[in-house]
């Protein structure tokens, strides 16, 4: 903290404060820091770059480092002339000249910025090369768009550049507000912790999230690059033009950017049908976190710096985006976009709070529903409701309560009420109907003019809630799926599976859930299988080591066998679920493909779309060859220059089945000349997620704790997240006790108490799940011929 003591009493007026200060490039991947890469000549090249969000501008220059303070920034950068260095910042270069007192140095002067928060300031000194295009604004002027990368990657920028131009046109048309800066640069940084950072006019990316090259990159890489670029471009309006006043309203930035990224990509790649899968990437992910005892609301009071870091989570991103999707679905897209435009227009170059957006939504939608109260409840209450559906003679009676998976749950909200938009379909309806469950009602009736065989609430999973039916109704759905599953949309089928699995954590018998999954043998749509694979993967992990595990895997293989025989190993398909449940033919094929690929025979080279699967699962059936294959992959990783292929190899080696080999891999990964610091946490967590690697990862953390403290400089938030991620995978009482003892011993670990409690709760939930459901699952499998 800086304290300025004036030499005389201050009087009312304006003052100009000028400070001289010095600093150095940081070793951390935050603030103003040094990054390196190896060029085609195997020489090390250096660059200096910034990453200020959320709290690191203060490490580079004295400032009021809070989002509520906006200022005009005038940047000047001095750098060495040699090595073809050049400087970039938020604004264009106004002029470049040689320093008068040192001809070996250059000084770049940048135009003044618009008013912006400190966390959006950015500058970069590098020898990168750029490719450019331009986009026409609403006012008919044009601005340059450039993508800048290490020189060896210039052939990988065309996709991102072309996509950026198209996405900017989409946002300009949607928001009807011009991008206010005179240029936009997108830069791929070799050492970068996040996926990307929305610095105004100078967006920085992890290399894997900006580069794409057909043949070298997979379809998943294309989707990831598209979504990441679209997310950061959405921030040019949500976050940069209009900024939250304080970090408690981070969702105004991240929730909207997450929602808009899907809208943009869905519009530009309509054949991907991305919005049909929107719940998979937002709602279903968020609910696994939002169900916890101490789940936080979207808008949360913040009391210390660690809690600011903690706000960058599934709640601010995925839950907020899912709630925004529910709102848009309820009021219709036209009204929603009108409200968005009013919000951006009203608060441009300023700061806003949640309530101010809620009021604009209420004024713009002209709904009979109190929209301010509707959205406010969703943002200020933790968790989500479960709607219970009961049939009576005149229709259906609905009730709601906050969903909880633990008997120890303590209600923290008033009689459990949200205002909920209820879209539903029935066996006799041709369309979709909307009704409302108002927060001040204990129940609501859905009258029906004609009797129906079934009613499906939350059509296509647009609402952020789950639905529980009577046992008879679940059995009706089971029969429907077995005999005519296409009577429901793929999104509705996925939603039924998701809700059933989640409800089985507490309220629903696993026999009902297992019955519901039996139709999957005839399912070939992506969304239901994505849901099933996620939950079956969790069951596979929890049941491992139990007598029932082999029977469960046999059932899962039986379900997937027909789909596997249909799809096989064709390019543009992937089937990690078949591999994870031990499909022998699939695993044997992965082993052979891995060996053939590593032989470097050109005709055996794998397409990028299947490499990650082969790398990860090719080890499962290896025995005596494990060490040689691992060493071969390590050499390939070390020699590889393509960032996405390096990531695939790095992740693939976490699939090793030999514990000694996993230990050697972790020790090698600690060396930052082998694995970049930004990638190490992913390696450690993925090894922990490997059934053969959990004990290895946990022992490594405890045995190498002092070295990890040095690596993460003792207080980095990332180290706490690594520990919590590993601990959350435990499923027995011995490990539970070890986790508690670890947290008691390492009191200085930079992680909030809430995060520690959440990871402990995960272990308790796993133990309770096994005790409550193992017998039921075993009995169901036996009665269905899997014993």
Neighbours of 391 (CB within 10 A): 18
Query: Is there a contact between 123 and 189 (Cβ–Cβ < 8 Å)?
Result: no
Say whether 66 is catalytic: no
The gap from C-alpha 40 to its chain's centroid, in whole angstroms, comes to 33
Ligand-binding site membership of 359 (annotated): no
The gap from C-alpha 709 to its chain's centroid, in whole angstroms, comes to 26
Positive or negative CA dihedral for 206, 212, 216, 219? Answer: positive
| DSSP-based three-state secondary structure for 20 | coil
Dmax (CA) for the chain in angstroms is: 91
Ligand-binding site membership of 231 (annotated): yes
Query: What residue spans of 332-470 are helical by DSSP H?
Result: 333-347, 354-365, 371-380
Q: Which of 232, 310, 716, 762 is flagged as catalytic?
A: 232
Q: Which residue has the tokens 């899968």?
A: 277
Ligand-binding site membership of 307 (annotated): no
Q: Which residue has the tokens 């294959």?
A: 629
Length of the chain: 787
- 491 vs 391: CA distance, rounded Å: 24
Pairing of strands 184-189, 202-206: parallel
- 600 vs 571: CA distance, rounded Å: 19
- 447 vs 392: CA distance, rounded Å: 10
* Structure tokens belonging to residue 12: 């009312």
- 64 vs 58: CA distance, rounded Å: 8
Query: Is there a contact between 695 and 662 (Cβ–Cβ < 8 Å)?
Result: no
Q: Residue 48: enclosing H or E segment and its boundaries?
A: strand 44-51
CA angle 422, 424, 427 (to 5 degrees): 160
DSSP 8-state secondary structure symbol assigned to residue 61: S
* Alpha-carbon distances, residue 646 vs 663, 669, 676 (angstroms): 20, 13, 11
- 35 vs 29: CA distance, rounded Å: 8
| CA atoms lying within 13 Å on the CB side of residue 97 | 8
DSSP assignment of 108-159:
EEEPPPPSEEGGG--EEEE--EEEEEEEE-TTS-EEEEEEEE-GGGGGG-HH
Q: Which residue has the tokens 């969790």?
A: 538
| DSSP-based three-state secondary structure for 35 | strand
- 478 vs 765: CA distance, rounded Å: 27
Reported in sequence order, the residue ranges of 353-509 that DSSP labels E, i.e. its strands, are 385-392, 395-402, 420-426, 433-437, 443-447, 455-457, 466-468
Q: Prior bond to 54 cis, omega within 30? A: yes
- 596 vs 573: CA distance, rounded Å: 20
Q: Residue 663: enclosing H or E segment and its boundaries?
A: helix 659-669
Q: What is the CA radius of gyration of the chain?
A: 27
Q: Catalytic residue numbers? A: 232
- Binding-site entries for Zn(2+): 231, 235, 254
């Amino acid at each position: 903290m800086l304290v300025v003591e004036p030499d005389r009493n201050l009087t009312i007026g304006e003052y100009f404060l000028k400070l001289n200060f010095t600093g150095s490039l940081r070793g951390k991947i935050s603030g103003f820091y040094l990054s390196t890469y190896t060029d085609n000549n195997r020489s090390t090249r250096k660059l200096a770059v910034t990453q200020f969000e959320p709290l690191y501008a203060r490490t580079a220059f004295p400032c009021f480092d809070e989002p509520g303070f906006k200022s005009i920034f005038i940047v000047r950068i001095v750098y060495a002339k040699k090595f073809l260095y050049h400087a970039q910042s938020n604004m264009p270069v106004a002029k470049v000249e040689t320093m008068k007192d040192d001809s070996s140095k250059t000084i770049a002067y940048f135009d003044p910025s618009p008013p912006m928060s400190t966390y959006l300031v950015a500058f970069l000194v590098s020898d990168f090369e750029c490719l450019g295009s331009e986009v026409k604004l609403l006012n008919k002027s044009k601005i340059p768009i450039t993508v800048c990368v290490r020189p060896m990657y210039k052939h990988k920028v065309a996709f991102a550049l072309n996509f950026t131009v198209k996405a900017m046109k989409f946002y300009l048309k949607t928001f009807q507000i011009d991008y206010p800066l005179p240029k936009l640069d997108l830069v791929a940084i070799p050492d970068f912790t996040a996926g990307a950072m929305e610095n105004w006019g100078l967006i920085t990316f992890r290399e894997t999230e900006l580069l794409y090259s057909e043949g070298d990159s997979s379809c998943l890489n294309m989707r990831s690059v598209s979504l990441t670029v679209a997310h950061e471009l959405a921030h040019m309006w949500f976050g940069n033009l209009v900024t939250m006043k304080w970090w408690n309203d981070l969702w105004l930035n991240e929730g909207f950017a997450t929602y808009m990224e899907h809208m943009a990509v869905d519009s530009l790649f309509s054949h991907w049908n991305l919005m049909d899968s929107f719940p998979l990437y937002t709602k279903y992910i968020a609910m696994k976190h939002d169900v916890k005892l101490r789940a936080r609301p979207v808008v949360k009071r913040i009391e210390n710096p660690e809690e600011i870091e903690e706000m960058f989570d599934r709640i601010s991103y995925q839950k907020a985006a899912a709630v925004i999707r529910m709102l848009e679905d309820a009021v219709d897209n036209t009204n929603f976009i009108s409200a968005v435009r009013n919000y951006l227009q009203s608060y441009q170059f300023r700061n806003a709070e949640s309530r101010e957006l809620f009021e604009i939504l209420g004024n713009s939608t002209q709904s009979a529903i109190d929209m301010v109260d509707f959205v406010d409840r969703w943002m200020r209450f933790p968790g989500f409701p479960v709607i219970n559906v009961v049939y009576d003679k005149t229709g259906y009676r609905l009730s709601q309560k906050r969903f909880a998976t633990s008997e120890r749950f303590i209600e923290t909200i008033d009689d459990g009420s949200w205002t909920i938009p209820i879209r539903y379909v029935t066996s006799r309806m041709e369309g979709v109907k909307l009704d409302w469950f108002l927060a001040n009602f204990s129940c609501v009736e859905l009258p029906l003019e004609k009797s129906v065989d079934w009613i499906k609430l939350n059509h296509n999973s647009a609402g952020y809630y789950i639905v529980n039916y009577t046992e008879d109704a679940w059995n009706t759905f089971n029969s429907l799926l077995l005999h005519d599953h296409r009577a429901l949309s793929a999104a509705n089928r996925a939603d039924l599976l998701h809700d059933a699995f989640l409800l089985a954590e507490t309220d629903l018998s696993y026999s009902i859930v297992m019955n519901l999954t039996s139709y999957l043998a005839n399912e070939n749509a992506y969304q239901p299988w994505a849901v099933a694979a996620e939950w079956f993967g969790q069951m596979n992990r929890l049941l491992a080591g139990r007598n029932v595990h082999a029977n469960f895997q046999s059932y899962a293989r039986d379900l997937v066998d027909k789909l596997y025989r249909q799809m096989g190993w064709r390019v543009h398909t992937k089937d990690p679920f078949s591999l994870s449940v031990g499909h022998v033919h699939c695993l044997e094929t992965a082993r052979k493909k891995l060996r053939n690929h590593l032989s470097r025979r050109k005709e055996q080279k794998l397409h990028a779309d299947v490499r990650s699967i082969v790398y990860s699962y090719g080890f499962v059936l290896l025995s005596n060859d494990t060490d040689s294959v691992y060493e071969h992959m390590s050499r390939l990783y070390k020699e590889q220059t393509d960032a996405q292929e390096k990531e695939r190899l790095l992740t693939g080696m976490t699939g090793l089945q030999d514990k000694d080999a996993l230990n050697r891999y972790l020790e090698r990964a600690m060396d930052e000349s082998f694995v970049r610091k930004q990638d190490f946490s992913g390696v450690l967590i993925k090894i922990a997620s490997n059934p053969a690697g959990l004990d290895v990862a946990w022992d490594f953390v405890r045995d190498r704790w002092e070295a990890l403290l040095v690596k993460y400089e003792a207080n980095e938030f990332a180290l706490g997240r690594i520990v919590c991620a590993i601990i959350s995978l435990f499923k027995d009482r011995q490990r539970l006790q070890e986790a508690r003892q670890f947290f008691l011993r390492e009191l200085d670990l930079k992680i909030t108490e809430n995060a520690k409690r959440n990871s402990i709760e995960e272990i308790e939930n796993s133990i309770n799940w096994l005790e409550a459901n193992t017998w039921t699952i075993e009995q169901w499998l036996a009665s269905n011929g899997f014993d």
